[in-house]
Amino acid sequence: MPGPSDARFAVFGEATGHDKPLFMHDLTFAQVIDEIVVPLESGKPFFVDGAPLTKKEIRRLKVVEQTDNFPRAFADLHHQLSFGSNETRKVTGDQYHVRLEAVVRQAGRDVTAQVMQAFDTEVKPRLRDYLPKRQELIAAALQVFVEGMKLHAGSP
C-alpha cells in the first residue's frame, strides 16, 4: 500500500474568464504546494490546466486526494471518448466537465482544508526560506497534512 508521500492529487478549479472548469491530476503533494499553493498565497500568478491565474481570478479551487480508483475511473471516461459509439462519444464530449467532476468526486477526497492547514502551519511562517529549505518545509507540511487527515477520518 502506498504511503503519504506516494499520494497523488488533482486540482479542480473555476476562474473568472474561463467558462469551463480547469483541471490537473496526478500531482504529488510537493507539486501542489510548489505550483499552486505557494504562488496562490504569495499573490503571484500560477497555472491550472495551462491557464495563467491569480488569486483574484479564482472563484473555486479544490484539492482532491486521488483514491486508488481514480486512474481507472479517469481512464474509463477517456475510453468512452475514444472508443465508444458515435452517440456515446458525442454525449461524453458534450458532458465532459460534468462527468470529470463526477470522477473527481467519486474517486477522490476533498483535502483542500487539510492542504491549506499544512501550508499555513509549516510553510507560510517561513515563506522567505522556502527555496533554500523547500524539501524540509514540504516534508513538514506533508506530516501536518497526514496528521490532519487522521483527525479528519477519526483515526487514533
pLDDT-based confidence at 151, cuts 50/70/90?
Answer: confident
- In DSSP notation, 2-39 reads --GGG--EEEEEEETT-SS-EEEEEE-HHHIIIIIIHH
Q: How far apart (Å, rounded) are the C-alpha atoms in residues 70 and 27?
A: 13
Q: How far apart (Å, rounded) are the C-alpha atoms in residues 84 and 71?
A: 19
Domain count for the chain, please give it.
Answer: 1
pLDDT, position 24: 97
The predicted-structure confidence for 20-78, as pLDDT tens digits, reads as follows 999 999 999 999 999 999 999 999 999 999 999 999 999 999 999 999 999 999 999 99
> Taking the CB of residue 29, how many other CB atoms lie within 10 A of it?
24
pLDDT, position 154: 66
In the DSSP assignment, the letter for residue 132 is: T
Give the predicted TM-score (pTM) of the model: 0.86
pLDDT, position 156: 52
Angle, alpha carbons 90-103-86 (nearest 5°): 15
Q: Which residues contact 10 (CB under 8 A, 6 or more apart)?
A: 23, 24, 25, 26, 27, 63, 64, 66, 70, 104, 108
Whether the Cβ atoms of residue 144 and residue 117 lie closer than 8 Å to each other: yes
Domain hosting residue 92, numbered range = 4-153
Q: How far apart (Å, rounded) are the C-alpha atoms in residues 56 and 148?
A: 27
The predicted-structure confidence for 101-122, as pLDDT tens digits, reads as follows 999 999 999 999 999 999 999 9
